């Protein structure tokens, strides 16, 4: 009897263990791997933040910088700003995957893959801190691994200059990218480590120029001027969209009425018609969509903030064919030009940064050489046709349009035009230039206070923190607000522009 009982118990134990194994096997989905590679999460994170950047350019950056104007829902134009929570949410959502890609690459000893993730992480965090000021940085995206769902806000000065800040991280990324490993899942720069080194250095140059009014950056910029930087349009950091979901240009699915809520701005229209600038036919559509005659007189500009004021014309030319397909009207393909890309940084921008560096005495380079190269790069990128605008080639345009270099303001003006659809960078730069000009619009010849603005002709200097931060991360949110002077205000100067 005892032996029989023992045999039965043994059989039951064997059955129990085998049943558990079978249940675990049944619970495994063969179509969804339990371990995800760094390349998969990197691709997902890249797409999220680039798509967000395109939407930011269309809804916020271009309009705040007066390159375009909203004709409906004009809060951005009239300076009645809020948190613009999609910027915060999309960037941190994308960072979740990018930081996980960094962690996986590091665990696998793949230095180049880790370097790519560090550069992308730095770019996304730079957008967030430039938009909001102090933000969760060193403790961000640590909820699952470190059980921290209320991350502290880092001071913006530390985010830029700290031992693990943006500038230091970008330097580290260059070292990693020159190391061992391979890159996979890179939808921006074709898995090319050398291209990522150029992006890392160029992004450092951008951030140092943002810092140039806060601290002495002359030595660092001088060193970067001879480093590997974006050196042609082939180096542009941009996502080329295939036209099929999920890799479709984000504005294409919009309804016509929603897309038409943004038009060419009168500030850009005025500058471009003054030079008879052929980019006009790429940035906008001719009125009545008549491509048989694309002279500058066949375009128009909407004044920012014009929705409710009849004294401020709100009708402007529709945005260019590269950005949207109107049924039954001329398309980008019909004109032989490419669909717009999701641009994070361009060669044209780098040339204007180098021109400004030379102007400020950080380098001994020829100012006009870089300035001219920046304009040429922008025109080439947008595939302009100079002939309908009365020029034989770029040299003819440069020498006879009035755009040739004469003074430092020229750099700002042409860089402003070249930053069309560059995410929020056009706004960040206009904000910097206004800060350098004592917040006086009259000192920037191509800008003016927007029509019917509600902020005493002052451009807001930041986005508000999202309301969810106040309710879900209360203590850290309050510390950040206290550092702004006690109010989550769009006029509260963050460290970067407080000089």
Q: Which residue has the higher pLDDT, 380 or 32?
A: 380
443 located within any domain? yes
299 located within any domain? no
pLDDT number for residue 18: 42
pLDDT number for residue 355: 98
How does residue 327 score in pLDDT terms, banded at 50, 70 and 90?
very high
pLDDT number for residue 192: 98
First to last CA, the chain: 92
Q: 3-state class of 52 per DSSP?
A: helix
Q: Of 170, 173, 168, nearest to 183 (Cα)?
A: 173
DSSP-assigned beta bridge partners for residue 302: 265
Name the maximum alpha-carbon separation found in the chain: 110
**If phi over 0 gives left and psi between -120 and 50 gives alpha, with beta otherwise, what is residue 148?**
beta
d(CA 81, CA 492): 12
Whether 193 has a pLDDT exceeding 50, the answer reads yes
222 located within any domain? yes
d(CA 62, CA 425): 9
* % of the chain residues with pLDDT over 90: 85
Q: 3-state class of 310 per DSSP?
A: coil
d(CA 249, CA 433): 31
Residue 489: HSE in the Cβ half-sphere, 13 Å Cα cutoff: 12
CA 254 → CA 323, 424, 469, distances in Å? Answer: 11, 20, 30
Domains contained in the chain, number = 1
Q: Phi and psi at residue 298, in whole multiples of 5°?
A: -95, 20
d(CA 118, CA 382): 30
- Do you find a cis peptide bond into 263, omega within 30 degrees of 0? no
Whether 468 has a pLDDT exceeding 70, the answer reads yes
d(CA 111, CA 104): 11
Q: For 367-421, how does the pLDDT look when each residue is reduced to its tens digit (9 = 90+)? A: 999 999 999 999 999 999 999 999 999 999 999 999 999 999 999 999 999 999 9
DSSP-assigned beta bridge partners for residue 153: 136
> Is residue 222 within 8 Å of residue 229, measured between CB atoms?
no
- Interval 65-85 mean pLDDT: 95
**DSSP class per residue in 96-145:** HHHHHHHHHHHHTT-HHHHHHHHHHHHHHHHHHHHHHSSEE-TTTT-HHH
Whether 343 has a pLDDT exceeding 80, the answer reads yes
Whether 334 has a pLDDT exceeding 70, the answer reads yes
**Average pLDDT, rounded, for the chain:** 92
DSSP-assigned beta bridge partners for residue 318: 263
CA 338 → CA 273, 379, 452, distances in Å? Answer: 23, 13, 37
Q: In terms of residue numbers, what domain contains 207?
A: 38-250+342-497
pLDDT number for residue 254: 96
17 located within any domain? no
Q: For 215-263, how does the pLDDT look when each residue is reduced to its tens digit (9 = 90+)? A: 999 999 999 999 999 999 999 999 999 888 889 999 999 999 999 999 9
- Interval 101-129 mean pLDDT: 98
50 located within any domain? yes
Whether 317 has a pLDDT exceeding 50, the answer reads yes
Whether 21 has a pLDDT exceeding 60, the answer reads no
Q: Which residue has the higher pLDDT, 13 or 321?
A: 321
- Interval 82-92 mean pLDDT: 97
Q: Which residue has the higher pLDDT, 276 or 313?
A: 276
Angle, helices 166-177/193-211, rounded to nearest 10 degrees: 160
- Interval 141-167 mean pLDDT: 91
Residue 255: HSE in the Cβ half-sphere, 13 Å Cα cutoff: 2
Sign of the torsion formed by the C-alpha atoms of 379, 382, 383 and 384: negative
Q: What is the CATH number of the domain that holds 372?
A: 1.25.40.390
236 located within any domain? yes
d(CA 202, CA 224): 8
297 located within any domain? no
30 located within any domain? no
10 Å Cβ neighbour count for 354? 27
């Amino acid at each position: 009897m005892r032996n029989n009982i023992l045999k039965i118990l043994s059989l039951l134990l064997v059955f129990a263990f085998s049943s558990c194994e079978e249940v675990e096997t049944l619970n495994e989905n063969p179509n969804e791997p339990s371990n995800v590679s760094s390349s998969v999460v990197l691709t997902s994170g890249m797409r999220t933040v680039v798509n967000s950047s395109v939407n930011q350019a269309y809804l916020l950056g271009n309009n705040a910088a007066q390159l375009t104007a909203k004709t409906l829902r004009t809060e951005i134009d009239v300076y009645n700003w809020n948190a613009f929570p999609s910027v915060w949410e999309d960037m941190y959502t994308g960072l979740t995957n990018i930081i996980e890609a960094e962690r996986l690459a590091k665990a696998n000893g793949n230095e180049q893959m880790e370097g790519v993730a560090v550069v992308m992480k730095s770019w996304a965090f730079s957008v967030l801190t430039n938009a909001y000021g102090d933000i969760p940085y060193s403790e961000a995206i640590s909820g699952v691994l470190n059980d921290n769902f209320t991350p502290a806000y880092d001071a913006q000065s530390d985010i830029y200059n700290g031992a693990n800040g943006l500038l230091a991280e970008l330097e580290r990324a260059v070292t990693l990218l020159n190391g061992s490993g391979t890159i996979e899942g890179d939808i921006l720069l074709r898995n090319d480590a050398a291209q990522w080194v150029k992006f890392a250095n160029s992004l450092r140059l951008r951030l140092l120029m943002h810092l140039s009014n806060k601290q002495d950056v002359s030595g660092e910029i001088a060193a970067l001027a001879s480093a590997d930087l974006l050196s042609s349009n082939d180096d542009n950091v941009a996502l080329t969209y295939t036209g099929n979901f999920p890799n479709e240009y984000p504005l294409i699915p919009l309804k016509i009425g929603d897309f038409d809520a943004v038009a060419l701005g009168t500030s850009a229209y005025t500058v471009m018609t003054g030079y008879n600038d052929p980019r006009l036919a790429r940035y906008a559509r001719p009125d009545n969509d008549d491509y048989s005659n694309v002279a500058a007189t066949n375009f128009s500009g909407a004044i920012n903030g014009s929705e409710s004021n009849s004294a401020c014309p709100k009708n402007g030319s529709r945005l260019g064919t590269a950005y949207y397909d109107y049924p039954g009207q001329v398309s980008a393909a019909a004109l032989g030009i490419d669909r717009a890309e999701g641009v994070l940084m361009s060669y044209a921008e780098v040339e204007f940064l180098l021109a400004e560096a030379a102007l400020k005495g950080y380098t001994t380079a020829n100012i006009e050489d870089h300035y001219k190269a920046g304009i040429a790069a922008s025109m080439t990128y947008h595939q302009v046709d100079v002939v309908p605008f009365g020029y034989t080639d770029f040299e003819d345009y440069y020498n006879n349009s009035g755009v040739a270099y004469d003074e430092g303001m020229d750099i700002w003006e042409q860089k402003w035009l070249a930053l069309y659809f560059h995410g929020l960078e056009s706004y960040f730069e206009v904000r910097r230039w206004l800060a350098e000009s004592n917040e006086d619009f009259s000192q920037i010849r191509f800008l003016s206070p927007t029509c019917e603005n509600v902020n005493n002709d002052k451009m807001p200097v930041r986005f508000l923190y999202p309301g969810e931060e106040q309710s879900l991360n209360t203590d850290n949110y309050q510390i950040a607000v206290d550092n702004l002077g006690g109010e989550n205000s769009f006029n509260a100067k963050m460290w970067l522009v407080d000089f």
